[in-house]
Amino acid sequence: MSEAGTQGGYVATTGRTFPNLRVSDHPLVRHKVTLLSDERTDTKLFRELVRELTLLLLYEATADLPVAPVRYRTPLEETEGERIDARIGLVPIIRAGLGMVEAAVDALPRAEVWHLGMYRDEATHTPVSYYNRLPKTCPDDLVIVLDPMLATGGSAADAADVLKEWGAPKIKFVGLKAAPEGVSRMADAHPDVQVYVAALDRELDANRFIRPGLGDAGDRLFGTGME
């Protein structure tokens, strides 16, 4: 990670320090997020890049997972290794978060996948919750929220509210692009939730789209909303 991942947090162009923000400085991430954002990238390649970036970011977001020793045999002898010692839940925010699930499950094949559905009201630009498939109590030690864009931060903050009320002991957010406004909202509402993204962009425009951004992630993932 960049200095965003070190002590002291990430300093945005606004001058504010975000101790909860981790922006990847890996060359592969920087390369792929540039391709992802390019308007010439078609739906097929966009999906592939979302998958690849999700996998790379999850490696960074799970670097502090606890492990436990385990005995096993190689073809030659018995030895000791390690296994993940935590139960992990994945919560994609429908719909764009669905594009990140397959890669997340590949990285964490024993993870459980729960779903929250939210959409942005086009008039008020606020998140509206319409779907919740969480079980009665949280069975996980870590819950990772998946959503490509952290724009206003409304959906992410609301999701964290729901997950904390559900009993999630630890929450992380993994996305692709963020605006300072969204990171600021998460820092104020949920300073304990670490945010992992591929890029922190300049600002939100009047329509609450991230600039320079990449457009509507859901539309580009699913080939909808295009002329």
Active site residues: 120, 124, 216, 219
Whose CA is closest to 169, among 192, 146, 201? 192
Give the Cα separation of 160 and 154 in Å (integer): 10
Q: Which residue has the tokens 């991942």?
A: 5
- 119 three-state secondary structure: strand
Residues 6 or more apart whose Cβ sits within 8 Å of residue 107: 54, 55, 58, 59, 62
Give the residue from 180, 130, 108, 115 showing the smallest Cα distance to 151: 180
Nearest residue to 91 via CA among 68, 117, 72, 71: 117
- Locate the DSSP E strands across the chain: 10-11, 17-18, 21-23, 67-73, 78-84, 88-94, 112-113, 116-120, 127-132, 142-146, 149-150, 171-174, 177-178, 194-197, 199-200, 203-204, 210-211
User: What is the phi/psi pair of residue 165, to 5°?
Assistant: -65, -30
